[in-house]
Structure 1
Amino acid sequence: MTHPKKVTERPAYVVESVDNALRLLQILRDVGALRIKDAAAELHIAPSTAHRLLSMLVYRGFAVQDTQRVYHPGSALEAGPAANDWTLQLTARCRPHMEALVSECNETVNLVIRVGDQVRFLWSELSTELLRVGDRRGQVFDAELTAAGRILLAELPPDALEHLYLQRDEPRGPEPRWRDRRMPAGEFERLRADLAAVRAAGFAVNVGRTEEGVAVFGAAIRSPAGKAVAALAVAVPVTRFQRHVEGTLVSRVRRTAHLITADIDDLVT
């Protein structure tokens, strides 16, 4: 015998700004497109307030804005929980190494995992430079666009990569347009070739692909068995990119990733 689901009562003390942000998430989920004026009317708030709320959703990856200034669901809105139950422990083990790397290069260092065709930023250790890349904790990006994502995708078997990205004739079930990362055969083959080069080099670079004015160097963190389980992504202002290309940053990132492997032998196999 099943019992009817109990309806959750509205809390006696409501944090209005939080409630409004959550309502915007619900509207984006259910409607799929939203303008500032419509958001303001729906929530009975000023357009300026709606704009600030939507801007925060964009920053955290829960919304994206198109060229017509219409907001759509972002990749984070569809991100389910990570299948791994050790992400908190992984973060704790990585943080001292990340802090040491920041002290060496004074650039922002991120810990990233891949979930399907997305990457998630578990932690950020920030540079102390005035011009620096900020905190990315909790953000979600399309994996093939990021340095961390590309170094992790480069480790996938061919059939797994095809499953994620190769556009096929047969239907794959309902999938929202903005989250369909599959591509035609020609584009997929270019991605495969790029990832092969990344795998051969042992690191990946992203210059302005996900954020204007930002360059990122990514290296894989491996389990003791050699499987790539996460990545370090060092984000730098593009004005310092060439200096790091010609310097020791890549070797330092790879060395840090290697040191982390020794600290996670009891977490992953």
Structure 2
Amino acid sequence: MKNKPPYAIESVDHALHLATLLQQEGPLGVSEAAARLGVSRSTAHRLLAMLVYRDFAEQGDDRRYQAGPVLRPADPVGAPVALLRQAAMPHLRALVARTRETVNLQVLAGTEVRFLATVECDQVLRVGDRAGRVLPAHLVSGGKALLAALPPAELTRRYAGSAVNLTRLRRELGLVRRRGFAVNDQATETGLTAVGFAVPWPSGAEPAAALSLALPSARFDHDLLPTWVGALSATATAIRHELG
């Protein structure tokens, strides 16, 4: 029998309870969530906002909240996540020091990208922590870099029956392969631009993960692209050696 911990953190308990309700019972409004938890509407709203931020919930057009990507059945990640994170972190920090922009480590799971780690830069205007988030791979710079490495038949299999325009996506991924990097120009968030680069697996198989350099769109400069891509490439190579 499980007993409540003697030093339970009430806010954490409320958030976990709310996530469970969304997963098992379906959409809830703020008032409904407050009633179920026995808290004020303002507290319920703050809890839901945090669940949305971490992808445990999402808000529908009717303003009710439902289970987010983290709580839905997930496609398996083909990469060893713990090993990747451990190998990459020192190099992510070095890349941030070199570029003074935020850096993310991502892996591909089906048609989604999962953010394994973020190292934020120290600039006042910067892209914040995305660790734990799940986004459509065809919109994310790192996701596009990883999709570009898939065999054509595998790409077709993953997107069969989806609303994604596969012909258009193939054209974009062809450009990514020719360039060696991908760009997300505000496709996932207004005011955010990112440059993605795949991290090759030591055995020469499909890339294990991707790096993305994320920055405010106001600071994006095409003239700096070669410098950023060079830094991403060097970091990807260093991570590959670390994995090997």
TM-score by length of 2: 0.91
Paired residue for 1:92? Answer: 86
How many residues align? The count is 243
- Tell me, what secondary structure is at the counterpart of 1:232? strand
Of residues 182, 186, 189 in structure 2, which corresponds to 1:204?
Answer: 182
Of residues 149, 152, 156 in structure 2, which corresponds to 1:158?
Answer: 152
Give yes or no for contact 2:116–2:131 (8 Å, CA) kept in 1.
Answer: yes
1:79 Cα deviation (Å)?
A: 5.4
Of residues 209, 214, 218 in structure 2, which corresponds to 1:235?
Answer: 214
What pairs with 1:70-109 in structure 2 (closer than 5 Å)?
70-78=64-72, 80=74, 83=77, 86-109=80-103
- Distance verdict in 2 for CA 1:192–1:246, change over 3 Å: closer
Give yes or no for contact 1:150–1:204 (8 Å, CA) kept in 2.
Answer: yes
Question: Counterparts of 1:124 and 1:22 in 2: how far apart (Å)?
Answer: 23
1:230 Cα deviation (Å)?
A: 0.4
Paired residue for 1:121? Answer: 115
Q: Which moved more, 1:46-55 or 1:9-18?
A: 9-18
Question: Counterparts of 1:162 and 1:27 in 2: how far apart (Å)?
Answer: 35
Paired residue for 1:261? Answer: 240
- Distance verdict in 2 for CA 1:244–1:210, change over 3 Å: farther
Question: Counterparts of 1:244 and 1:43 in 2: how far apart (Å)?
Answer: 53
Of residues 127, 130, 136 in structure 1, which corresponds to 2:124?
Answer: 130
What pairs with 1:6-155 in structure 2 (closer than 5 Å)?
8-78=2-72, 80=74, 83=77, 86-155=80-149
Give yes or no for contact 2:107–2:115 (8 Å, CA) kept in 1.
Answer: yes
Query: What is the RMSD of the two structures over their aligned residues, measured on CA atoms?
Result: 2.1
Question: Counterparts of 1:240 and 1:190 in 2: how far apart (Å)?
Answer: 28
- Which letter maps to 1:138? G
1:67 Cα deviation (Å)?
A: 3.5
- Tell me, what secondary structure is at the counterpart of 2:138? helix
1:246 Cα deviation (Å)?
A: 4.8
- Tell me, what secondary structure is at the counterpart of 2:58? strand
Give yes or no for contact 1:61–1:141 (8 Å, CA) kept in 2.
Answer: no
Give yes or no for contact 1:107–1:127 (8 Å, CA) kept in 2.
Answer: yes
- Tell me, what secondary structure is at the counterpart of 2:113? strand
Q: Which moved more, 1:62-71 or 1:19-28?
A: 62-71
Paired residue for 1:220? Answer: 198
Q: Which moved more, 1:108-117 or 1:82-91?
A: 82-91
- Which letter maps to 2:28? L
Identity of paired residues, percent?
A: 41
1:210 Cα deviation (Å)?
A: 1.4
- Distance verdict in 2 for CA 1:79–1:130, change over 3 Å: farther
Question: Counterparts of 1:28 and 1:143 in 2: how far apart (Å)?
Answer: 25
- Tell me, what secondary structure is at the counterpart of 1:144? coil
1:81 Cα deviation (Å)?
A: 8.6
Of residues 192, 200, 205 in structure 1, which corresponds to 2:170?
Answer: 192
Give yes or no for contact 1:75–1:142 (8 Å, CA) kept in 2.
Answer: no
Question: Counterparts of 1:12 and 1:39 in 2: how far apart (Å)?
Answer: 25
Question: Counterparts of 1:79 and 1:124 in 2: how far apart (Å)?
Answer: 24
Of residues 214, 227, 248 in structure 1, which corresponds to 2:227?
Answer: 248
Give yes or no for contact 1:145–1:209 (8 Å, CA) kept in 2.
Answer: yes
TM-score by length of 1: 0.83
Q: Larger Cα Rg: Structure 1 or Structure 2?
A: 1
